[in-house]
Amino acid sequence: MAALWAKISAALPRHEEQLPLRFSDKVESSVVEMLRRSRRQLYSDDDNAAAAAARMLNAQIILDVSWERLNAGTWRHVDKEWRRVYSYGCLFKAAALCRRGPSADEVLLAVRTCDMGLLMGAAIMDNILQVIVGILQGEVRRSTDLQEESGRAEVKRKKTECSRLPVINDESAVPRIKCPSLESFSTNYLLPLKPVVLEGTIAHWPALNQRPWSLEYLRGVAGCRTVPVEVGSRYTDEEWSQTLLTVNEFIERHVLDEIPELKEDICLPDYCCLGEGDEDDITVNAWFGPRGTVSPLHQDPQQNFLAQVVGSKYIRLYSPEDTDKLYPHPSPLLHNTSQVEVENPDAERFPEFSRAPYAECVLRPGDVLFIPVRHWHYVRSLELSFSVSFWWS
Amino acid sequence: MVTFPFPVSLCRSVLRMRRTHSHTVHSSVQNFVAFPMRWFGFGFNAFGQIYVHEKPMQGECSDAAAEVKVSSPTELSSEVDRRDCCVKNECQKRASWSRRASLHLNSDSCVSLAGFASHGSCDARPVQESRGCKDVLISESFLSLAFSDRVECWDLRKEEKTPSWSMEIKTHPDSSGPSVKLPLVPGGYVAPKLPLYRLLSPHLQAKMLALSSEHAVLLSASGAVHTWGLGSHGQLGHGGLASEEEPRIVEALWGMPMSHVATGGWHSVCISDGGDLYVWGWNESGQLGLPSRGLRKALRQQSSQQEGAQYQDASTSPAEEQHEEVFISIQAFPALLDVTPPCEIRTVSCGCRHTAAVTTKGDLYTWGWGDYGQLGQQNLLSSDEPQRVEFFREQQMHVTDVVCGAWNTFAAVAEEEVACS
């Protein structure tokens, strides 16, 4: 394992003075003092148990104090400087874990630590956490290759028959079109904000060709990585919560930015160039969930391309013009979400809902649904499903 | 800003004749006055704010685990040169994340600071500009000093000769009792961050004010409680998660006069006239003393990591949890907290994620986050149930006061009772 530390060392600046610790006034000097201590410890040659304990302790202090600042107000208002401090804490902790012949568990903990920094922190030192987690993942893959497969839990193949397969009426069906030109899409759908299913536009994705996405593939590429997971069938349920888990532990959802390797299997839809924003401003998310997962009727503030890679989803769309019939939640936190259960509406509480016109479709592998900005949409997975969404403006 | 002279000067330029009858930090129990006062601290000590390790290691304060996390109550040594300050006199403590302030109330009151100092030293130094000070408050960035004729806020990040903010107080010649109870000042209060001075409506009749970095809990003369600021974790007690820009009365406590209020990072606590404790806000670390799922999960992860077991799935619940335990992660309305055995609470203070309460019988109870030893239970465990700190009982010490820093706790102890309630 000495090779592991050598690789990580090589990714870090050679000398202590070259590791930058520059922060605005928002970060108090007492905290900067802690960061300096960690930096000193990182470059000191002490390798005994006491030094190791001191490194972990100091890194944890930095993590604890910055975690408190990250939770101090709404996420939107968290100062980026504190997210950077948090990332430094993750860096020092991961380095401390990998210093002295780390066990397999310590390597996994270091991966999780880097992932926490990537999820909650802000990029530091040319995104060093991404570099380090890449090194660590290589280490994890190497050791799992050498092990027997028998230790891993069997993933039961779910039956592909779907219950309650919706029948799409011709009158309410979302129109389908095969590979429209940019101009045609722009004129007929983007500018008038009309939903449409685009067929044949993602047939070239590696995720559908050379490296087809499957449970096994995902576990192989990203099994040890930590991702945010929504627990509960719909986010308006009282029992719904968000938690952080590794993909291996609870395979339900992952966010692409954290695992750039999966980004190689998909491509940005060309139609996104019709927007005003930069390519860098396009938010790409991967959605991974079992049959029956429901996204309650809601609207988003950006244009959306929802690309289906594996499995199928039933989707219903309502126009923003009919918002008054959709009974959005009054609270500011959920005002973009309807109170109505789309496939089981309470006619007494929501009498106008049945009068709202809608369009619907079953999205299958290879389909891309254009959801115009602020169009209300409801989604139910009909079987194990992988989709990729592109939010753009 | 403030200079740290060595050694302590013997200047006694102004003699403060006025001594309040009992300058205790709360108003509910007036007739218990005990000297001499000894202080004990436990919890976060990375800057030497509880004690400084004997052997300085290369100019660093300390970074060995046992010195950073003080899990057993440790007596604070007298900071000020004994020639100048009589130990028998009353001493109050305030603490921020990296420092501890001591207010020595005698004929020549002054404030001394321990912990993180810009000069890189860890010893306690008296603050020159604090001569004659009657009350003090410390945050990570500012030191507030209240004198009989003025209030000053000093920026701890800079070395300046004048305070960042100050205000004159017009004293009435016939007024008695404590003049200023920080952070309350005439017309308003001083906040831990800019803007420093904020107005308060006089009809609130503010008697006591507790502030965290994001929310405020005000006790009015009538015993009513008003809150404002960030509400995202239920810390305002109005039953929801909305933030409030203006003070809003906590209706759930209407009709029950309160006598003391305290705030933690995301929680609020108050004591009723009858000595009952009410808690509300975030309970992720058990700081409300109510069953906390977050705490149980964290304890499971801690023990599994130490045993070298495979990293546990945070979402699986072990068999024991399956039966009907109700966990509270956010308590948005005030809840009465039962301490067992039943007792009357005299005073309470909150750290960022922990709470400490002193009973009229002289026991100290702590609960909440314990990773740095701030619960004083001689371990680093968190607790979602109030637990008595046995150390003081074992030493036959009567706890009279408690003050929390972000991650530590300071308890005042008397060995003899001068007067009993």
Q: What is the mean pLDDT of chain B?
A: 80
B60 and A37 within 8 Å at the Cβ level: the answer is yes
Better pLDDT: A115 or A291: A115
> Which residue of chain B has the CA closest to A55?
B63
Q: What is the pLDDT of residue B35?
A: 56
Whether B267 is covered by a domain: the verdict is yes
B371 and A53 within 8 Å at the Cβ level: the answer is no
Candidates A28, A79, A253, A329: best to mutate against B (most CBs of B within 10 A) is A28
Burial class (CB in 10 A: 0-12, 13-18, 19+), A136: buried
The CA distance from A132 to the nearest CA of chain B, in Å, is: 20
Whether B120 is covered by a domain: the verdict is no
B275-301: pLDDT as tens digits? 999 999 999 999 999 999 888 888 877
A350-373: pLDDT as tens digits? 999 999 999 999 999 999 999 999
Q: Is the pLDDT of residue B29 over 50?
A: no
- Strands B142-146 and B135-138, bridge-based pairing: antiparallel
> For residue A231, which residues of chain B lie inside 8 Å, CB to CB?
315
Q: Is the pLDDT of residue B214 over 90?
A: yes
Whether B171 is covered by a domain: the verdict is no
User: Which one-letter DSSP state was computed for residue B132?
Assistant: T
A109 and B305 within 8 Å at the Cβ level: the answer is yes
Task: Name the pLDDT band for A146 (thresholds 50, 70, 90).
Answer: low
Q: Which of B46, B309, B315 sits opposite A245 (nearest CB)?
A: B315
> For residue A250, which residues of chain B lie inside 8 Å, CB to CB?
313, 315
Candidates B315, B354, B371: best to mutate against A (most CBs of A within 10 A) is B315
Whether B184 is covered by a domain: the verdict is no
| Residue B371 forms contact with A (CB below 8 Å) | yes
The CA distance from B296 to the nearest CA of chain A, in Å, is: 15
Task: Name the pLDDT band for B270 (thresholds 50, 70, 90).
Answer: very high
Task: Name the pLDDT band for A152 (thresholds 50, 70, 90).
Answer: very low
B166-203: pLDDT as tens digits? 998 876 655 544 556 899 999 999 998 889 999 999 99
Rounded mean pLDDT, A333-357: 91
A72 and B213 within 8 Å at the Cβ level: the answer is yes
Q: What is the pLDDT of residue A154?
A: 34
Q: Is the pLDDT of residue A104 over 90?
A: no
Q: What percentage of chain A exceeds 70 in pLDDT?
A: 88
Q: Which of B266, B314, B407 sits opposite A244 (nearest CB)?
A: B314
List C-alpha distances in Å: A39 to A58, A62, A379. 10, 12, 48
- Phi, psi dihedral angles at A80 (to 5 degrees): -60, -30
B313 and A250 within 8 Å at the Cβ level: the answer is yes
- Strands A358-363 and A313-318, bridge-based pairing: antiparallel
The CA distance from B307 to the nearest CA of chain A, in Å, is: 11
Q: What is the pLDDT of residue A214?
A: 76
- The structural domain count of chain B equals 1
A60-69: pLDDT as tens digits? 999 999 999 9
A108 and B311 within 8 Å at the Cβ level: the answer is yes
The CA distance from A309 to the nearest CA of chain B, in Å, is: 28
> For residue A73, which residues of chain B lie inside 8 Å, CB to CB?
214, 230, 232
Q: Using CB atoms and an 8 Å cut-off, which of residues 224-263 of chain A contact chain B?
A: 229, 231, 243-246, 249-250
Rounded mean pLDDT, B255-259: 95
Q: Using CB atoms and an 8 Å cut-off, which of residues 294-313 of chain B contact chain A?
A: 305, 308-311, 313
> For residue B65, which residues of chain A lie inside 8 Å, CB to CB?
53-54, 57
> Which residue of chain A has the CA closest to B155?
A28
Q: What percentage of chain B exceeds 90 in pLDDT?
A: 57
The CA distance from A326 to the nearest CA of chain B, in Å, is: 24
> Which residue of chain B has the CA closest to A59?
B63
B314 and A243 within 8 Å at the Cβ level: the answer is yes
C-alpha A158/C-alpha A164 separation (Å) is 16
Q: Is the pLDDT of residue A125 over 50?
A: yes
Q: Which of B63, B64, B371 sits opposite A37 (nearest CB)?
A: B63
Amino acid (one-letter) located at B30: Q
Instruction: Write down the pTM of the prediction.
Output: 0.76
Q: What is the pLDDT of residue A231?
A: 67
A54 and B65 within 8 Å at the Cβ level: the answer is yes
C-alpha A298/C-alpha A195 separation (Å) is 15
Q: Using CB atoms and an 8 Å cut-off, which of residues 260-289 of chain A contact chain B?
A: none
Q: Which of A204-208, B95-99, B117-121, B392-396 has the lowest mean pLDDT?
A: B117-121
Q: What is the pLDDT of residue B419?
A: 47
Q: What is the pLDDT of residue A160?
A: 36
A134-143: pLDDT as tens digits? 999 888 877 6
Beta carbons of B209 and B220 less than 8 angstroms apart: no
Look up the ipTM and state it.
0.83
* 3-state DSSP of chain A: CHHHHHHHHHHCCCCHHHCCCCCCCCCCHHHHHHHHHHHHHHHCCCCCHHHHHHHHHHHHHHHHHHHHHHCCCCHHHCCHHHHHHHHHHHHHHHHHHCCCCCCHHHHHHHHHHHHHHHHHCCCCCCCHHHHHHHHHHHHHHHHHHHCCHHHCCCCCCCCCCCCCCCCCCCCCECCEEECCCHHHHHHHHHCCCCCEEEECCCCCCHHHCCCCCCHHHHHHHHCCCEEEEEECCCCCCCCCEEEEEECCCCCCEECHHHCHHHHCCCCCCHHHHHCCCCHHHCEEEEEEECCCCEEEEECCCCEEEEEEEECCEEEEEECHHHHHHCCECCCHHHCCEECCCCCCCCCCCCCCHHHCCEEEEEECCCCEEEECCCCEEEEEECCCEEEEEEEEC
| Residues whose CB is less than 8 angstroms from the CB of residue B279 and which lie 6 or more positions away in sequence, other chains included | B267, B268, B269, B288, B289, B290, B331, B334, B335, B337, B355
Q: Which of A242-256, B29-43, B101-115 has the lowest mean pLDDT?
A: A242-256
A68 and B371 within 8 Å at the Cβ level: the answer is no
Whether B341 is covered by a domain: the verdict is yes
> For residue A245, which residues of chain B lie inside 8 Å, CB to CB?
313-315
B313 and A333 within 8 Å at the Cβ level: the answer is no
Task: Name the pLDDT band for A161 (thresholds 50, 70, 90).
Answer: very low
CATH number at residue B340: 2.130.10.30
The CA distance from B63 to the nearest CA of chain A, in Å, is: 6
> For residue A34, which residues of chain B lie inside 8 Å, CB to CB?
46
Whether B178 is covered by a domain: the verdict is no
> Which residue of chain A has the CA closest to B282?
A71
B63 and A57 within 8 Å at the Cβ level: the answer is yes
Compute the C-alpha angle B165/B169/B170, nearest 5°.
155
Task: Name the pLDDT band for A223 (thresholds 50, 70, 90).
Answer: confident
Q: Is the pLDDT of residue A257 over 80?
A: no
Q: What is the mean pLDDT of chain A?
A: 85
Q: What is the pLDDT of residue A307?
A: 94
> Which residue of chain A has the CA closest to B353?
A68
Q: What is the pLDDT of residue B244?
A: 95
Q: What is the pLDDT of residue B354?
A: 98
How far is residue A257 CA from its own chain's centroid? Answer: 7
Range(s) of the domain holding residue B224: 7-51+69-85+199-308+320-418
Whether B269 is covered by a domain: the verdict is yes
> For residue A29, which residues of chain B lie inside 8 Å, CB to CB?
116, 118, 157
The CA distance from B202 to the nearest CA of chain A, in Å, is: 28
Amino acid (one-letter) located at A247: V
| Residue B68 forms contact with A (CB below 8 Å) | yes
B63 and A58 within 8 Å at the Cβ level: the answer is yes
